[in-house]
């Protein structure tokens, strides 16, 4: 039965997404498991499915478990019948049962931001495109302190460097070793590379890159300083003959970027407790009605580092789950890597 469902979901993926057979092989060998899958089945046929992939989220000084929705798809003949809405609700209930307080996703198309917002997701992850031309670096004087090397493995030292840099941020999605193994396998399909930057024996940055036509694309770049980033750009354009442009999509603020990813709070009380503990001088209260996850509904008061939840109170303003999510997370400039996309 499990193998039959997996085969059907692979056909669903092939129908709905434009990925290569090699990438689909990778996904279903490395990412997909029966336990991570949710599906709507009608008359023994999978009509809609998604996968829930675990990612830790660093919020303030705490690590919170999240599930990232991947591969959400419905066969064309079953669309506009509410099956995806039913499936998303099913995923919320699973998260509640597993005490997962947050769900995240990256909409596959722009119109889906509005669609997922109806289920309580808020856009809190933003990105912007940076273009670097060879002529932009004509006056750049690179330092001789850095050594650039290419490697195909994400070893423990590099994993530790990435974890530490991401944990320096107020809010960021983290990438376990298992996830990085899949990222590298995907990178290999695109003939990509990891460029590691060392100063003496210490890692001071790395980039995940791939090339197409005369452009070098950077999917991820983490470094100790912008000067190191500029030296990397100089190195890439100088050492790759025939390439004159670097395209980098980097996480950004709401004011400067475009929508990238969304977040849905499954357990509001637990997230407000984290917020209260890290903002002891803040005092707010509000009523909230969450029509999809009624366990979130209630009156909340944050004062002196403590969150209290009660039944709805008279004379108190109402908020919805999307606005509350934006209020909590946008000031933190949450970081979502394009390695998820």
Element (H, E) at 178: helix 177-189
Q: What is the pLDDT of residues 100-138, one digit of tens each?
A: 999 999 999 999 999 999 999 999 999 999 999 999 998
Range list of β-strands (E), 60-176:
62-74, 102-105, 122-133, 146-151, 171-173
Does the pLDDT of residue 2 top 80, yes or no? no
Q: For residue 120, give the 3-state DSSP assignment.
A: coil
The per-residue DSSP string of 271-289 comes to HHHHHHHH-TT--EEEEE-
Task: Look at the alpha carbons of 307, 313, 316, 321 in this order and tell me if their dihedral is positive or negative.
Answer: positive
Element (H, E) at 13: helix 2-16
Model confidence band, residue 341 (pLDDT cutoffs 50, 70, 90): low
Q: For residue 315, give the 3-state DSSP assignment.
A: coil
Q: What is the pLDDT of residues 40-63, one digit of tens each?
A: 999 889 999 999 999 999 999 999
Q: Which residues pair with 250 in a beta bridge?
A: 128
pLDDT given at position 56: 96
Q: What is the pLDDT of residues 149-184, one digit of tens each?
A: 998 788 899 999 999 999 999 999 999 888 888 888
Does the pLDDT of residue 69 top 90, yes or no? yes
Euclidean distance between CA atoms 230 and 224, whole angstroms: 12
Euclidean distance between CA atoms 195 and 235, whole angstroms: 10
Euclidean distance between CA atoms 321 and 296, whole angstroms: 9
Q: What is the pLDDT of residues 5-20, one digit of tens each?
A: 999 999 999 999 989 9
Q: CA-CA distances (angstroms) from residue 107 to 2, 33, 110, 115?
A: 27, 22, 7, 9
Task: Look at the alpha carbons of 28, 34, 36, 39 in this order and tell me if their dihedral is positive or negative.
Answer: positive
Average of per-residue pLDDT values in the chain: 94
pLDDT (mean) for 316-339: 94
In terms of Cβ atoms closer than 10 Å to its own Cβ (0-12, 13-18, 19+), residue 210 is middle
Report percent pLDDT > 90 for the chain.
85
pLDDT given at position 337: 85
Residues constituting the chain: 341
Element (H, E) at 323: helix 321-329
CATH numbers and ranges of domains, the chain: 2-125 (3.40.630.30), 128-254 (3.40.630.30), 267-319 (no CATH)
Does the pLDDT of residue 338 top 90, yes or no? no
């Amino acid at each position: 039965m499990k193998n039959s469902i997996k085969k059907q979901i692979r056909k669903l993926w092939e129908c709905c997404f434009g990925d290569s057979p090699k990438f689909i092989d990778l996904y279903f060998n490395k990412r997909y498991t029966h336990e991570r899958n949710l599906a709507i089945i009608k008359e023994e046929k999978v009509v809609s499915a998604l996968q829930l992939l675990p990612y830790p989220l660093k919020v303030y000084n705490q690590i919170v478990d999240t599930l990232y929705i991947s591969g959400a798809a419905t066969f064309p003949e079953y669309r506009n019948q509410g099956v995806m809405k039913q499936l998303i609700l099913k995923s919320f209930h699973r998260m509640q049962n597993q005490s997962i307080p947050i769900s995240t996703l990256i909409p596959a198309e722009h119109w889906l931001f509005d669609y997922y917002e109806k289920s309580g997701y808020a856009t809190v992850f933003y990105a912007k495109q940076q273009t670097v031309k060879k002529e932009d670096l004509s006056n750049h004087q690179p330092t001789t302190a850095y050594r650039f090397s290419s490697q195909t493995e994400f070893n423990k030292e590099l994993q530790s460097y990435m974890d530490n840099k991401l944990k320096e941020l107020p809010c960021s999605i983290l990438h376990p070793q298992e996830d990085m193994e899949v990222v590298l396998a995907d990178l290999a399909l695109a003939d990509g590379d990891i460029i590691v930057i060392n100063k003496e024996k210490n890692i001071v940055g790395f980039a995940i890159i791939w090339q197409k036509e005369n452009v070098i694309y950077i999917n991820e770049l983490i470094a100790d300083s912008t000067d190191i980033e500029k030296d990397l750009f100089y190195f890439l354009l100088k050492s790759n003959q025939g390439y004159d442009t670097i395209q980098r999509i980097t996480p950004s603020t709401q004011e400067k970027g475009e929508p990238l990813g969304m977040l849905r709070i499954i357990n509001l009380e637990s997230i407000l407790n984290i917020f209260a503990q890290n903002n002891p001088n803040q005092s707010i209260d509000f009523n909230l009605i969450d029509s999809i996850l009624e366990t979130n509904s209630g009156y909340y008061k944050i004062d002196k580092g403590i969150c209290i939840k009660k039944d709805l109170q008279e004379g108190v303003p109402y908020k919805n789950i999307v606005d509350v999510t934006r209020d909590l997370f946008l000031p933190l400039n949450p970081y979502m890597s394009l390695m998820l996309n």
